[in-house]
Amino acid sequence: MAPVVQVDQLGKQFGEVRALDRVSFDVEAGEWIAIMGPSGSGKTTLINILGGLDHPTAGRVVVDGLEIGTLGERELTRYRADKIGFVFQQFHLVSYLTALENVMLAQYFHSITDEKEAAAALDRVGLADRLDHVPAELSGGEQQRVAIARALINHPKVILADEPTGNLDEANELVVLKLLHELHEAGHTILVVTHSQAIGNLADRRVELEHGRLARISVPSLAKE
Amino acid sequence: MASRSMFLRILWKLLGASRGRLTVALIALTSGAAICSALLNVNLDAERKLTQEFRTLGANVVIAPPAAGSEASLADAAVLDRIAELHIPQIAAMAPYLYVAANSGSQPVILAGTWFDQLARMNSWWKLEGGLVSSRADHEHCLVGFNAARQLGLAPGSLVQLRSGDRTISLTVAGIVTTGAAEDNQILTNLDSAQTLAGLSGRVTVAQLSVSGTTAEIESVTRQLANALPELDVRPVRQIAAAQGTILGRIQGLIFWTIALILILSMLGVLASMAALAMERRSDVGLMKALGGTVPRIMRLFLAEAGALGALGGIFGFLFGVVLARWIGQRIFGVVISARLEVLPITIALTIAVALAGAFPLRLLGRVRPAEILRGE
């Protein structure tokens, strides 16, 4: 079976700055990949290209059979709605919509809304009693759980998470890690950008970047066990 | 159906989320719509109101024998009965005139015999010192033009004796009139008295008519009278008709340009609010695009928001405009201008167009690059 994500000689240049330089790796369906590296190593650029938010300037990226470097704006938009579930460090919830509506917003842009399904997704992340709360009424951890429910609602092929615990305290970090672990157990393909060794250790593999280049791909000891 | 319900749900939340900025935009739209609605109401009534105003400025149709002025070309006073029998509703007032060259002592003066009751209806702007003669049958009183009164040393209550050939009449001055026209040099009296003094019983020099209606309606009445009175000249007073047309055109031009200017100013008000709103909404748009929202679908939300605001502003503006139009009508025309329902859709359509034009900054949000927004740039 072909890998769900294929990154081949990927390059990205911002003017004179080479953010990514000949990066190659594959991700199998159901894998949990931690993308690690120091600040400025190209982690977020990589995740943006994988998510169809940015265009590569060299190489190719294939996600679920689609070479995303060849897609136009409209096709990229469709690609994001169909194939990708995003989780951001800053949560990025719409402030004037309730938790339920934030999840339904992803449904709305994907196809049709289903309030019961959105409520079930929030129930799955432990927020059944917070459906009608706006983000300002939720804790950071709860907001991130809403974002995870939103990322899952359209059954994406790949979940891309950029520092999902970066803005959380330790207790909430554990809750989110547990959720990611459960998603992995359920067979979701997850790519997480992180500085956290704890998350890196939970992943199946670690893709480590340095100065935009692939430094190494390693298997954490926990995964080996 | 579910999508439409979600669309309305988001739209409702959008309207509630930025109440402050949207209220400012709504005030701008409502103010503009109110003035537009008022002016449109006034504009629709302006021709009718102004026509009524013009009718107070004297006769606008004159009927006279082909070569008026000489005794040989005097008309039969029965012509007035023939006009009355036509039952033309646009004829607001009608007065015959017989001009007689007379003397008061050694001073020559023109005596104009007419119907006093009609005179007052046709010349309401005349300034009067003393009393008005309002009865057509009053044979004892006269009105004296301001210049004639000064020349003859007359004042209200004075007795004046007029002579023409070997005939004389005596009249008491009821009032002194200032007209700004030929009547300032004349003495105005009952038609019968003038006919008696001149020895021209049943004769008139001209008949003056005040015809209400638009220029076209006045011309139509003129044609109707000309057909009924083929032996006489029936002429509209061109200067008044032309002045009416010019003034109406200018007023309508003024209204049009005022509406255009007000709408532009409203749009600038909306533009300022929407520019601030667009800055606030950048991250939401970036997120929506990241979630798979197409630009047209996202923009539809914001334009629907602007459209809803425009419709609301249009409805409020129409209602305020009706009140404003009534006030303008009473202050300027002295009449009540009634609400014209056809103004409502025009006002709403104009206000929605202004709101959508003012929402231009929101359209620029379509260019937002989600990667930059989500990075926090």
Q: Is residue A21 part of a domain?
A: no
* Dihedral sign computed on CA atoms, order B234, B66, B203, B181: positive
Beta-carbon separation of A109 and B287 below 8 A: no
Q: Give the pLDDT of residue B331.
A: 84
pLDDT at A224 over 60: no
- CATH number reported for the structural domain that contains residue A116 in this entry: 3.40.50.300
In a domain, A62, yes or no: no
Distance (Å, rounded) from C-alpha B351 to C-alpha B358?
10
Q: Does any CB of chain B come closer than 8 Å to the CB of residue A188?
A: no
Instruction: Identify the domain containing residue A204 by its residue range.
Output: 29-44+71-224
Among B11, B13, B291, B365, the strongest candidate for a mutation testing the A interface, having the largest count of A CBs within 10 A, is: B291
Q: Is residue A125 part of a domain?
A: yes
Residue A149 domain-assigned? yes
Dist. CA A181–CA A196, nearest whole Å:
15
* Closest-approach residue (CA) in chain A for B296: A74
CB pairs under 8 A between A and B: 75
Task: Tell whether A134 lies on the interface with B, counting CB pairs under 8 A.
Answer: no
Residue of A12, A20, A44, A113 for testing the chain B interface, max B β-carbons within 10 Å? A113
Distance (Å, whole) CA B256 – CA B247:
14
List the structure tokens of B290: 């990241």
Judge whether A8 lies within some domain. Answer: no
Reported ipTM: 0.90
Q: 3-class secondary structure for A59-114?
A: EEEEECCEEHHHCCHHHHHHHHHHHEEEECCCCCCCCCCCHHHHHHHHHHHHCCCC
Given an 8 Å threshold on Cβ–Cβ distance, is A74 in contact with B7?
A: no
Identify the residue with better confidence: B126 or A115. A115
Which residue numbers in chain B have pLDDT < 70? 1-2, 46-57, 67-73, 238-242, 244-245, 376-377
pLDDT tens digits for A28-71? 999 999 999 998 899 999 999 999 999 999 999 999 999 998 99
The alpha-carbon gap from B308 to the nearest alpha carbon of chain A, in Å, equals 18
Tokens of A177: 């890690």
Q: Are B281 and B362 in contact (CB under 8 A)?
A: yes
Tokens representing B10 are 């988001």
Q: Answer yes or no: is A77 within a domain.
A: yes
- Strands B127-130, B167-178: pairing is antiparallel
Domain count, chain A: 1
pTM: 0.70
User: What pLDDT is recorded for position B45?
Assistant: 75
In the predicted model, what is the mean pLDDT of chain A? 91
Instruction: Give one DSSP letter per residue of A163-208, joined into a string.
Output: STTTT--HHHHHHHHHHHHHHHHTT-EEEEE-S-HHHHHHSSEEEE
Question: What is the pLDDT at residue B321?
Answer: 93
The CA distance from A80 to the nearest CA of chain B, in Å, is 5
The answer to whether A105 contacts chain B (CB < 8 Å) is yes
Establish if A55 touches chain B: CB-CB under 8 angstroms: no
Domain limits, chain B: 2-53+245-374, 61-236
Question: For residue A145, is it within any domain?
Answer: yes
Q: Look at residue A79 and tell me whether its pLDDT is greater than 90.
A: yes
